[in-house]
Chain A
Amino acid sequence: MVAVGPRKLLWRLAEVVDVVPETPRTKSLVLDAPGWEGHRAGQHVDVRLTAEDGYQAQRSYSIASAPEEERLVLTVDRLDDGEVSPYLTDVLTVGDRLELRGPIGGYFVWDAADGGPLVLVAGGSGVVPLMAMIRHRAAVGSDVPTRLLYSSRSYEEIIYREELEDFAARDGSLEAIHTLTRSAPKGWDGYDRRIDARMLSEVAWTPEERPLAFVCGPTPLVEEVGTALVGLGHDPGRVKTERFGATGG
């Protein structure tokens, strides 16, 4: 028997109040969503587009904003062969409206009260739900020791780079560690390879410190990192994953 009462998610209209370019391929959509009942860091929404002929396409996008923020922010990565993301990043402008439902998901979420230490591992736009956690942590003044290990193809493709630098500069208990897998600027002294077990053993705390791990990105990265963390001795029950499809958009 299911004791939980029904909570049907309804589609609602949100209005775009700002569009913020983050990298050459990603934009943040700042939304005004009347009646929005709040969310938890790590949750996502479904976005639905309807063409004039009635054809509908639906995708999930992680919420980038902290629960404490007034506006709902989605950060969207433009996939060239995608059906939905090129519209969201190239066509949508301030004043346009968008159909969405949410918040969705109770598994890949972190509340400051859950504690840590935290290890957040991201590939590409997989950083978005982790950024909601970092922003939530800052908004409530949490000092949970946190390390973000973030894999990007190049320096220019690091989403939220300046905001992460600002957070880390102001807060000694937050570290952002980058790895660049395709090209690195001259003089780059950080990691420059895909995330592997050795990198995780250097960054992801020790199993004895019992970190809470959140891993988000393309499916191969998530499976590699999840397997490596468990292989290093981390408790599988404290490793949470969220995968992106290999295709989609």
Chain B
Amino acid sequence: MDELRLDGNAAAGTLGEVFSFEVTTAEYACGGCGKAGTLGGAAVYEVRDLGIIVRCPGCDNALIRVAHNRGRYLVDLRGTKYLATG
């Protein structure tokens, strides 16, 4: 599988397809290790043509998973304690 390692900045266009807030400055807390950070600084893995996984740079826990297929999106936020924007 072709994987691209990016960060929250590079993935902002794709994340912007499902979130209407500015994702790079949104704050999160990791549901795994509790580390808080800004999504722009989180690690992102893009699986070509399938979707992206935003991972905690502290513990590699999957914070956000977005899969897309034929115009539909599946968003999984189980790895995130919270997202704060604005």
What residues of chain B lie closer than 8 Å to A105, measured between beta carbons? Answer: 9, 12, 24, 40
Selecting from A6-14, A89-97, A137-145, A179-187, the interface stretch reads A6-14
Cα separation A246 to B6 with both chains bound (whole Å)? 8
Answer whether residue B4 sits at the interface, using C-beta atoms and an 8 A cutoff: yes
What residues of chain B lie closer than 8 Å to A108, measured between beta carbons? Answer: 9, 24, 40
Selecting from A69-77, A161-169, A189-197, A235-243, the interface stretch reads A235-243
Cβ–Cβ contact B20 & A107, under 8 A: no
Q: How far is the CB of B48 from chain A (nearest CB, A)?
A: 8
Answer whether residue B5 sits at the interface, using C-beta atoms and an 8 A cutoff: yes
Cα separation A138 to B25 with both chains bound (whole Å)? 26
What residues of chain A lie closer than 8 Å to B16, measured between beta carbons? Answer: 8-9, 104
Cα separation A244 to B43 with both chains bound (whole Å)? 10
Interface size, chain A (Cβ < 8 Å): 30
The CB with the most chain B CB atoms within 10 A, among A8, A105, A240, is that of: A105
Interface size, chain B (Cβ < 8 Å): 26
Q: Given contacts A101-B13, A107-B41, A243-B6, are A2 and B85 in contact (CB under 8 A)? A: yes
Cβ–Cβ contact A107 & B21, under 8 A: no
Answer whether residue A172 sits at the interface, using C-beta atoms and an 8 A cutoff: no
Within 8 A of A (CB), among B1-45: 2-10, 12-14, 16, 20-22, 24-25, 38-41, 43
Task: Pick the contact of A2: B13, B38, B86 (CB < 8 A).
Answer: B86
Taken residue by residue from 37 to 75, chain B's Cβ proximity to chain A (1 for < 8 Å, 0 otherwise) reads as: 011110100100000000000000000000000000000
Cβ–Cβ contact B86 & A3, under 8 A: yes
What residues of chain B lie closer than 8 Å to A104, measured between beta carbons? Answer: 9, 12-13, 16, 24
Cα separation A243 to B7 with both chains bound (whole Å)? 6
Minimal Cβ-Cβ distance residue in A for B6: A245
Minimal Cβ-Cβ distance residue in B for A243: B7
Cα separation A247 to B9 with both chains bound (whole Å)? 16
Cβ–Cβ contact B6 & A4, under 8 A: no
Answer whether residue A102 sits at the interface, using C-beta atoms and an 8 A cutoff: yes
Answer whether residue A231 sits at the interface, using C-beta atoms and an 8 A cutoff: no
5 sample A-B contacts, Cβ–Cβ < 8 Å, listed by A number: A4-B85, A60-B13, A107-B38, A107-B41, A248-B6
Nearest first, the 5 A-B pairs at minimum CB distance are A107-B40, A107-B24, A6-B20, A46-B13, A60-B10
Taking A60-B9, A104-B12 as known contacts, 19 extra A-B pairs with beta carbons closer than 8 A to each other, sorted by chain A number, are A2-B20, A4-B21, A7-B20, A9-B13, A44-B10, A60-B10, A104-B9, A104-B16, A107-B9, A107-B24, A107-B38, A107-B39, A108-B24, A240-B40, A243-B6, A243-B7, A243-B9, A245-B6, A245-B10
